[in-house]
Amino acid sequence: MKLHGAIISPNVRKVIVTCLLKGIDFESITVIPGPDLKKPEFLKLNPLGMIPVLEDDDLTIGDSNIIMQYLDDKYPDVSVYPIDVKDRARARWLSEYAGSALLPCCGVMFREVLVKPNYYKQPTDEQAVNETVNEKFPPVLDYLEEQTPATGLLFGEQICIADINVVSMLVTAKYGGYSVDGERWPKLSAYVHRVLSLPAFKQCLAAEKELLNKITA
């Protein structure tokens, strides 16, 4: 099984955490967002020109959530979906919400605070950062605070796609210097720490360090 992507990308992180939880071996093929995604050989793998892409024998698919679903169908023993049908729907919804509402905020922090000044030697767009921190993040985190239980994970004690989605995005924000304020969003902040202390997340973040260090070098 081959996974194409950059391991510090949130959508790639989601797939890696899923593989680690399920004990799936895969070959990681590094593809960094940028011109490489527009090359004909990559567009053959994913005409959308986006990572991650999974190749499994004769199957080639893009989109992190679709890949996670495939891995769960193929390796169901350790499932990353809740059992209850409504919880499964809620978990899919929160995953969608994380991708559509949370990721754009986290992406701004990652790009403007970490990547642009350190890797591209370009100035941070301070206005975009201030707008994100003061206007865009708060309503998204308010909603997630409402959804987060005081103990455990989003759907009990077993990590599921919603936990993987929400926390993968917030790791990206953390690389850009933004962490959930524990005073303002206490349940969400404590929950993020609980998820990050799980072995699969710890192992994934440890593997990301090398690439992260290259960006900040």
Ligand X SMILES: N[C@@H](CCC(=O)N[C@@H](CS)C(=O)NCC(=O)O)C(=O)O
Interface residue with ligand X, options 4, 9, 166, 208 (CB under 6 A): 9
Q: Which stretch binds ligand X (CB under 6 A): 4-12, 109-117, 155-163, 173-181?
A: 4-12
CA dihedral sign, ordered 159, 165, 170, 171: positive
Is residue 208 within the footprint of ligand X (CB under 6 A)?
Answer: no
Contacts of 70 (CB under 8 A, 6+ apart): 54, 56, 59, 61
CA–CA separation, 72 and 57 (whole Å): 17
Interface residue with ligand X, options 4, 7, 8, 10 (CB under 6 A): 10
Residue 162: CB minimum distance to ligand X, A: 14
2-5/59-62 β-pairing: unpaired
Cβ atoms 172, 109 nearer than 8 A: yes
Contact map string, positions 81 to 100, toward ligand X, x by CB under 6 A: ------------------x-
Contacts of 148 (CB under 8 A, 6+ apart): 154, 187, 188, 191
Contacts of 171 (CB under 8 A, 6+ apart): 10, 13, 196, 205
- Stretch 16-45 residues interacting with ligand X (CB under 6 A): 33, 37
Q: Which stretch binds ligand X (CB under 6 A): 6-14, 157-165, 182-190, 199-207?
A: 6-14
* For ligand X, the closer CB: 35 or 199: 35
Q: Which stretch binds ligand X (CB under 6 A): 63-71, 139-147, 148-156, 185-193?
A: 63-71
Q: Site residues (CB under 6 A) for ligand X?
A: 9-11, 33, 37, 49-52, 63-65, 99
